[in-house]
């Protein structure tokens, strides 16, 4: 399994919005700048067959129209499955229509298959088993994932039971660390330290940083914790 962290930042930061791609075909979140980052790293957008949307905040979805425009021009011939919170299709259609009217409606209906995420359910994408975990990101439905009982992805989350389960059931974690001190919306450095006390063997890659948080944590020595830049790539044994 090859994972590329396309963006490590939050809506407030200089870095790209938090997003990643597994192998070259499973994209997780589509915030502003994600498509440009894919193109900069020479990914072929036509290879993407699955998109997972953790939640419907702007820094995780606003590149959807950019993605549609690009793959339509490239002439994709396959369905793209989009696993996302309930009601995503209508909201995405409204978003695209604000920019392009009804021009892309037929394309979206023909080539995009929207599948509602259900908490604590598993589904297979390509050769991987994804397990869904609902997490608390106050004010909106938000989800994380466990991939093949190896890779954990918290999405945007405060410290909650869903996050704790993702930690316990995964070996490598890509984890929200927006703040120095966590709140009801996002985890902070304090939450990461608390989680690691009971999960010392885990490898944690932090993401969704605000710039101040990233600067602060770079001066702290935390075992098995990585602070990476946009475009960071690593392999996870299957």
Q: For the residues 205-226, what does the mean pLDDT come to?
A: 94
The answer to whether residue 9 scores a pLDDT higher than 80 is yes
User: In CATH, what number is assigned to the domain containing residue 35?
Assistant: 3.60.15.10
Q: Place 199 in a pLDDT band, splitting at 50, 70 and 90.
A: confident
Supply 90's token pair: 């209508």
138-179 pLDDT, tens per residue? 999 999 999 999 999 999 999 999 999 999 999 999 999 999
Give the C-alpha separation, 81 to 88, whole Å: 12
pTM, 2 dp: 0.96
In sequence order, what DSSP letters do the residues of the chain get, joined into one string?
A: -EEEEEE-B-TTSSSPBSEEEETTTEEE---TTHHHHHHHTT--GGG--EEE-S---HHHHTTHHHHHHHHHHHT--S-EEEEESTTHHHHHHHHHHHHHTTTTHHHHHHHEEEEE--TT-EEEETTEEEEEEEEEETTEEEEEEEETTTEEE--S--S-HHHHHHHHH-SEEEEE--BSS--SSS-BHHHHHHHHHS-TT-EEEEESB-HHHHHHHTTS--TTEEE--TTEEEE---
The domain tally of the chain equals 1
pLDDT at 166: 97
pLDDT at 164: 96
pLDDT at 200: 82
Q: Place 206 in a pLDDT band, splitting at 50, 70 and 90.
A: very high
Q: Place 92 in a pLDDT band, splitting at 50, 70 and 90.
A: very high
Q: Place 1 in a pLDDT band, splitting at 50, 70 and 90.
A: very high
Q: For the residues 197-203, what does the mean pLDDT come to?
A: 88
Listed residue (179, 218, 214, 173) closest to 196, CA to CA: 173
Residue 176 dihedral angles phi and psi, to the nearest 5°: -60, 130
**Mean pLDDT for the chain overall:** 96
């Amino acid at each position: 399994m090859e994972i590329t962290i396309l963006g490590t930042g939050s809506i407030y930061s200089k870095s790209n919005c938090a997003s990643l791609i597994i192998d070259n075909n499973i994209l997780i979140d589509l915030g502003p700048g994600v498509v440009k980052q894919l193109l900069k790293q020479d990914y072929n957008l036509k290879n993407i067959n699955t998109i997972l949307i953790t939640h419907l905040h702007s820094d995780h979805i606003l590149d959807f129209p950019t993605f549609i425009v690009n793959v339509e021009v490239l002439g994709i011939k396959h369905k793209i499955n989009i696993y996302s919170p309930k009601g995503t299709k209508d909201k995405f259609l409204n978003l695209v229509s604000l920019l392009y009217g009804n021009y892309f409606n037929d394309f979206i209906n023909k080539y995009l298959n929207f599948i509602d995420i259900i908490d604590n359910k598993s589904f297979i994408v390509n050769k991987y088993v994804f397990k869904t975990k609902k997490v608390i990101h106050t004010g909106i439905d938000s989800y994380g994932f466990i991939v093949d009982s190896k890779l954990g992805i918290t999405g945007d989350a405060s410290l909650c039971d869903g996050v704790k389960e993702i930690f316990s059931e995964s070996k490598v974690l890509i984890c929200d660390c927006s703040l120095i001190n966590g709140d009801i919306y996002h985890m902070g450095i304090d939450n990461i330290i608390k989680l690691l006390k009971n999960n010392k063997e885990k490898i944690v890659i932090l993401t969704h940083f605000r710039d101040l948080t990233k600067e602060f944590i770079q001066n702290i020595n935390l075992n098995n914790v990585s602070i990476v830049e946009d475009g960071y790539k690593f392999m996870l044994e299957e």
